């Protein structure tokens, strides 16, 4: 586009044509704007000086974030049709960089659960098998990328929501270091540090570009360090030490084939100059789960208690949301403190572990994409799941500490379904992880294995 080989209008036409062809079967993009309005904006972009690195690039915003003039349903009938009066901070940054917002991407109700379905927009299908889940909560974004409707997409990640859908749709997703990408403009900015916005793309170079756009220079005295831009990626990963943690010393149940697909992907890291080792798990699985579930429920209760206390709105909360709110409201201040102490113990253990390794590697999920008519997997390899999110336990080591994690495609299982690999670094190691992902991408090019969507 910068060189004049592609116009903004032609790109918008291609996006509209592709979306019209495949979105009906997939249901990834929702609340789509009028096509003629979008084409008019694209033509105006062609007549204008470039506004930034995303000038004229179509993007759809995850339906948990606000995009001015579009509805933010959060997948809940309570908010269906409610029009956003202003952009969320990262959406404002995308527009300032020249992106054209075309609509929203589908998400689970309130983003709870890694399976994208809700009573407002319905279920989003996996493009590699329309009968399967696409993951979540950034499921619509991942599917739009995999199916060629979008080139870049935003998402958010509390419990793997940028990582699991990336893995299940053969694309890249990144949970940045906590604090790099601004969160909501209102509410608490100190206590509930579990979720973050982040980028998704079909290659690490686009992932890095979008991350830099989404994380403008810090203003307003918000807590946390300033982050340097990632900039261009050189793909140099030689000498990095990778710790393959697999199933956390057999503590995490995994469906057949997941570990073998991921281990084959790890062979690539050896070819690009990394040292891959398989050490023991660095911390107690049960302690991690205890701290995570307490702090997560406490955070969700803070977000949803107003709805819970309103008799009319409470009926719109799905059972999993009510369970989280009631658990969170039952916690005492000392309960939260105890969970935070365990999190602090994990921080110290992780710091010691990173003294010997640069990257921790884990699968992006413990199951393959499941039947999209299910709410969530009730068992894994004969082990019963005692909560709606236990099957995603593999993502919490990074989430609990706000560590950066890049999900890279790992390949395909026996049924032709994708799986991903999490690459986790120290806080602030975002650029290193993206360079590692770029080196891996140059060797594999997995997103080129496009899905057989109609």
Which of the residues are catalytic? 62, 137, 161
Distances from the Cα of 227 to the Cα of 152, 231, 244, angstroms:
22, 12, 27
Kindly compute the dihedral angle of the four CA atoms of residues 278, 293, 346, 177, in this order, to the nearest 10 degrees.
80
Cβ atoms 174, 436 nearer than 8 A: no
H-type alpha helices, 272-353: 285-309, 311-314, 319-330, 333-353
DSSP 184-224: -SSS-SSS-TT-EEEEEESSHHHHHHHHHHHSPPP-TT-SS
Q: Are 46 and 91 in contact (CB under 8 A)?
A: no
Where would I find the H helices in 48-163? 89-96, 139-146
Within a 10 A sphere around the Cβ of 333, how many other Cβ atoms?
A: 8
Task: With beta carbons less than 8 A apart as the criterion, state whether 168 and 133 touch.
Answer: yes
Burial of 260 (0-12, 13-18, 19+ CB in 10 A): middle
Selection from 78, 76, 75, 74 nearest residue 88 by Cα? 74
Q: Any residues with CB less than 8 A from the CB of 221 and at least 6 apart, and which?
A: none
Q: For residues 341-352, b (16+ Cβ closer than 10 Å) or e, as one string? A: ebbeebbeebee
Helix, strand, or coil (residue 412): strand
| CA–CA dist 118, 356 (Å, integer) | 43
Residues constituting the chain: 454
Pairing of strands 275-277, 241-244: parallel
């Amino acid at each position: 586009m910068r060189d004049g080989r592609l116009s903004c209008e032609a790109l918008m036409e291609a996006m509209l044509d592709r979306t019209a062809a495949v979105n009906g079967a997939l249901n990834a993009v929702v609340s789509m704007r009028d096509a003629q309005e979008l084409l008019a904006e694209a033509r105006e972009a062609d007549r204008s000086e470039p506004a930034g690195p995303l000038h004229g690039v179509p993007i759809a915003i995850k339906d948990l974030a606000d995009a001015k003039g579009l509805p933010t349903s959060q997948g809940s009938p309570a908010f269906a049709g409610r029009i956003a009066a202003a952009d969320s901070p990262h959406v404002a940054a995308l527009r300032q960089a020249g992106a054209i917002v075309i609509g929203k991407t589908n998400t689970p109700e309130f983003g709870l659960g890694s399976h994208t379905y809700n009573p407002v927009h319905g279920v989003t299908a996996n493009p590699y098998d329309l009968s399967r889940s696409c993951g979540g909560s950034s499921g619509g974004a991942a599917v739009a990328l995999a199916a060629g409707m979008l080139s870049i997409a935003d998402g958010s990640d509390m419990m793997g929501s940028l990582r699991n859908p990336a893995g299940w749709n053969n694309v890249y997703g990144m949970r940045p270091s906590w604090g790099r990408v601004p969160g909501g403009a209102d509410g608490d900015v100190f206590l509930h540090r579990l979720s973050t916005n982040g980028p998704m793309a079909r290659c690490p170079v686009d992932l890095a570009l979008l991350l830099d756009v989404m994380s403008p220079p810090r203003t307003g005295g918000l807590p946390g360090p300033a982050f340097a831009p990632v900039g261009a990626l050189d793909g140099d990963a030689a000498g990095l030490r990778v710790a393959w943690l697999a199933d956390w010393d057999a503590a995490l149940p995994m469906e057949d084939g997941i570990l073998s697909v991921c281990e084959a992907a790890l062979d690539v890291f050896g070819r690009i100059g990394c040292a891959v080792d398989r050490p023991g798990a660095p911390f107690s699985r049960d302690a991690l789960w205890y701290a995570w579930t307490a702090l997560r429920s406490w955070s969700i209760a803070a977000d949803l208690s107003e709805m819970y206390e309103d008799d009319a709105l409470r009926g719109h909360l799905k059972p999993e949301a009510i369970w989280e709110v009631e658990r969170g409201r039952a916690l005492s201040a000392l309960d939260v403190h105890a969970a935070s102490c365990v999190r602090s113990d994990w921080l110290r253990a992780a710091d010691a572990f990173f003294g010997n390794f640069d990257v921790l590697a884990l699968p992006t999920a413990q199951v393959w994409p499941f039947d999209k008519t299910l709410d969530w997997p009730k068992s894994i390899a004969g082990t019963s799941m005692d909560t709606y999110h236990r099957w995603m336990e593999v993502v919490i080591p990074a989430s609990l500490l706000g560590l950066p994690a890049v999900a890279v495609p790992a390949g395909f299982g026996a049924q032709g379904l994708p799986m991903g690999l999490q690459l986790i670094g120290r806080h602030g190691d975002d650029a290193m992880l993206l360079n590692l992902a770029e080196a891996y991408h140059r060797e594999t090019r997995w997103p080129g294995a496009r899905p057989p969507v109609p």
